[in-house]
Amino acid sequence: MASAAAAVPEVALRSGSGNARPMPAIGMGTASSPLVPETTRDAVLAALEVGFRHFDTASLYGSERPLGEAVAEAVQRGLLAAREEVFITSKLWSMQCHPRLVLPSLLKSLRNMQLEYVDLYLIHMPISLKPGPTVFPAKREDAMPFDFEGVWREMEECHRLGLAKAIGVSNFTTKHLDKILAAATVPPAVNQVELNPVWQQRKLRACCAEKDIHVVAHSPLGGLKWSGSEGNAVLKSEVLAEIAKARGKSIAQVALRWIYEQGVSPIVKSFNKERLKQNVEIFDWELTKDDHIKIGQIPQKVVNTANGMFSPEGEFTSVDLSDMEFFEE
């Protein structure tokens, strides 16, 4: 079967165990709303066929089970020689961001996926919520102070047990990273954050580079939640459209290539085989210096905020929203 997998570069993660599989430089996102398990499973199989070997899921998304089923089916069909060929990330949801719930949550995710380990396990957000059934958006009164030291200690335990080959965080600002680094024996390998030409995260990228934390970009095409009446600011960008035309590429490919050229690995969601194929074909051409200058001047705006995780009613009682906010200028 023709596959672009060989053409995808890979990144060795700092805290990856000795036998850890390096992370392919582009991954497929599996978050969709509403989540339809069969559609998700078929999309993962289509992604494997066009060359994706890196998949991003989370207990929150409900996509762990169909992802695991697709990987098992791919091995059965001979599309993959073994599970070890794929790199799988899952995430600890905020209601389980309590030391005693970290290991049981990972074990549940592994059961959902029918896997023995994840390649990367991330704290989903710097937000801790009262334990209980998942309510989304969350209730303001359920927000609790985040025990960074205790939660990270248990993330390290997951790593020590070999259940997570590497561990990291998501949506963490430089301020949150400092708290983890102050407590860490095994520093986070990855920070997965919103990052694209419209939200370039220069300050955070510089901090992560200094601390040897690999940055992974979620919502690389502007995400599912399109902000404002003008729609998705990445896919509607005139600057990107002009560059795409000049390079004979799509806007999505220009955005993904720009992210890759920043040393960041995009996680892009498409459940459409043609677009999946397009998204993985970004490694045999380059943007010019002039393209980088133009993209560097795009006005910036963020889509995902901590505030957006909470329903507007109610009050924060034991923690300030500013302590949880995951964007910084």
Q: Binding residue for ligand NAP (CB under 6 A) from 24, 29, 187, 197?
A: 29
> Does residue 4 interact with ligand NAP by CB under 6 A?
no
Q: How far apart are CA 46 and CA 144, in angstroms?
A: 40
Q: Give the nearest distance from C-beta 98 to ligand NAP in angstroms.
A: 19
Q: Which two tokens stand for residue 157?
A: 């335990």
Q: Is the distance from CB of 129 to CB of 144 less than 8 angstroms?
A: yes
Nearest-angstrom CA–CA distance, 282 and 221: 14
Rounded to a whole number of angstroms, the minimum distance from the CB of residue 19 to ligand NAP is 25
Distance CA 223, CA 307 (A): 17
CB of 316 to ligand NAP, least distance (A): 20
16 vs 266 by CB, closer to ligand NAP:
266
Best CA proximity match to 264, nearest among 180, 191, 187, 317: 191
Q: Which amino acid is at 59?
A: S
Assess 265 for contact with ligand NAP (CB under 6 A): no
Q: What is the closest distance, in whole angstroms, from the C-beta atom of residue 79 to ligand NAP in the complex? A: 21
Q: Binders of ligand NAP: how many residues, by CB under 6 A?
A: 28
Which of the ranges 68-76, 222-230, 292-300, 307-315 carries the binding residues for ligand NAP, by CB under 6 A?
222-230
Residue 218 interacts with ligand NAP (CB under 6 A)? Answer: yes
Q: Which is nearer to ligand NAP, 92 or 110 (CB)?
A: 92
**Calpha distance 229→276 (Å, rounded):** 27
Nearest-approach distance from CB 66 to ligand NAP, in angstroms: 13
Q: Which positions ≥6 away from 213 have C-beta within 8 Å?
A: 14, 168, 177, 187, 188, 189, 190, 191
Interface with ligand NAP (CB under 6 A), residue from 15, 40, 173, 270: 270
**Candidates 136-144, 151-159, 172-180, 271-279; binding stretch for ligand NAP (CB under 6 A):** 271-279
- Cα dihedral across residues 29, 163, 119, 303: positive or negative: positive
* Helix 99-113 / helix 64-77 crossing angle, nearest 10 deg: 40
Specify the residue, 197 or 315, whose C-beta has the smaller distance to ligand NAP. 197
The contact mask relative to ligand NAP for 62-101 (x = CB under 6 A, - = no) is ----------------------------------------
Select 16 or 220, whichever has its Cβ closest to ligand NAP: 220
Largest distance between two CA atoms of the chain: 56
Kindly give the residue spans of alpha helices, DSSP state H, lying in the chain: 37-50, 64-77, 99-113, 148-160, 174-183, 202-210, 238-247, 251-261, 273-280, 289-296, 321-324
- Token pair recorded at residue 40: 């998700």
In whole angstroms, the minimum distance from the beta carbon of 183 to ligand NAP comes to 21
* List 8, 13, 26, 31, residue binding ligand NAP (CB under 6 A): 31
Catalytic residue at 61?
Answer: yes
Residue whose CB is nearest to ligand NAP in the complex, by number: 29
- Is the dihedral angle over the CA atoms 244, 245, 248, 252 positive or is it negative? positive
User: Which residues participate in catalysis according to the annotation?
Assistant: 61
Residues that bind ligand NAP (CB under 6 A): 29-31, 56, 124, 170-171, 192, 218-224, 235, 250, 252, 267-272, 275, 278-279, 304
